[in-house]
Structure 1
Amino acid sequence: MKSGLGLFVSLGLMLGAVASASAQQELLDDPEIYEKSYFSNQCQSVQYGPDFISRIDVNNDKLVDVVTNHGEIICDGVRGPGCTGDGCPYNFYLQVKEGGYFMIATAQMYGYDFIQRFGNMVFVLKMHPRYCERTDSRPCEMTVRVRGTRFMTISRK
């Protein structure tokens, strides 16, 4: 079994975006408008499913954040541009007190549950089994908490 640092590095590599990069990003007024604008430029015809966007407080700071699910996009008749056998892209945006949002992470995964554990809201990310160092077909379930602007791995199975 990997150490806690190994779990964090594994999740960090999977998520891609890090807080230090976000400090250099320009704030977005609304991630939904930003992403829809992007796909309207990429697709001749685009449709968004009901679960394309979730507005939830991901880091327990009482501000409503945004998670987008590219598996809920139909671009030129093709569902889920960017989706692979590893899942679909999900983008995580945090809202700041001053107004606006910035992306803290992007992940290729099957989906997630957002649940309360021990008084805190946490994600249970459902991902390819290799993220749990397995070769079977059962999805890896990684439980993570967003603290500030960082994803912290709690457990994985």
Structure 2
Amino acid sequence: MTSPAATPPAAAQVQPTFTGVMRGEWIKLLALRSTWWALASTAGVITLVALAAAMSLNAMADDPALAPGIEQMHGAEVIAGGFHFGILTIAVLGALLITGEYATGMIRSTFAAVPSRIPVLRASRTARAHATQIARSNATPTTRTTSVAGAIWYRLT
């Protein structure tokens, strides 16, 4: 007696979720060494520019002609002075991620998994924004500490 052949199950139609697309973008983002270098250089640039600004304020305070201009400045201007240069390193990070994805051909597998480009672009933008926010939030306390340390060091020398 022969039994009828079992029919294979139909292929399931899987719709990619934003969580899944976001997970894939995080993996691609954090797997590259250039991401870590760009984020570290962002924090370093922000910190070093804040240190230079703090030391220049001390030099300005010693000069009687420039001292009145310091009274109008806020501490936030000194601390946040490096964020403009930090934006450049984040722009480099974005360019490295996009060109790297096209150069390696990873973009083809990304769009094969998620045919609609909008969720991929949103997830990629969100992942880069979160990584940038982490780098910025790590640099802010460092710039405050470095600015104060630079001012103290300048006064001691």
TM-score scaled by length of structure 2: 0.28
Greater gyration radius: 2
Greater RCO structure (CA 8 Å; 6+ sep): 2
Q: Which is helix-richer, 1 or 2?
A: 2
The structure that is strand-richer by fraction is 1
With normalisation by structure 1, the TM-score equals 0.28
